[in-house]
Structure 1
């Protein structure tokens, strides 16, 4: 089974997250949203883990939601690995570039990781071209131009009292408004 993995904080889930899942549907059999308990690169404020899970479930874009202990793609891949399951991480250009160009401290580390999963990459804020030797593990996804849509922007607009509802799936707008209006 080909499993698309969309990992993130989803603080809150946005139309860009939903568009990534929709674009990946033709390449995979199921879409799983993964919320790591801990994040290696950020501290979270806003919605609780349970609230973020509920928002993801309300969208209807994902087959299921899972919680992982690790926050890095390789940790998540190892937690989700099952016999017969092929993992495809769904991400934007920015995340793909971080994963593929990170200094893992040892030669061949990224190649070994990409034996465990492949990448489905949406060009976001610029075109993405993977390194030649890794192209066989990276596929491009086409999504509408949603460069201005981010969880950070949703939270900023709510705090500033600016229009934001068009940035999130309609099914979560009311809940997001309540959560992110809390002081």
Structure 2
């Protein structure tokens, strides 16, 4: 259900943004709204409180966001509150963000290495990703995890390229186990 809610509202907002020619403006406002919502968890508690009626919740949303974001976003929030889907607002905004990035050919890459990469190494990774994907630019997220021992793991969407030493050792161990099992089967 949550995925359906995010897709329905996210797609509707995306269509409105593209058709109105205000994609960049609405995208910027949704990002600001996401940040504001993340920084104010008490708003979520208020919107989920069972003793506050929907009409009051709508008034609260309108009083907070009317002067801050466009009418389309206020309307989206109003509809989400009226349909009791406010708990999904983060997913709706994230889905919209993903749609805009795909539309603009902006990739999001998560790179995990055993040691911190230098700026030159990071630039080389971005260059290689641009050469091997359809994206024209990347939003990069780097993480250091010494447990991978060496190498690099890159995740873009649901695709993962894993050339870490940890994974290679694991694969080698599995292959050796298979060989030992076969050798044990052949013994008289």
TM above 0.5: no
When normalised by structure 2's length, the TM-score is 0.24
Q: Which one has a larger percent strand, Structure 1 or Structure 2?
A: 1
Greater relative contact order structure (CA < 8 Å, 6+ sep)? 1
Larger radius of gyration, structure 1 or 2?
2
Q: Which one has a larger percent helix, Structure 1 or Structure 2?
A: 2
When normalised by structure 1's length, the TM-score is 0.24
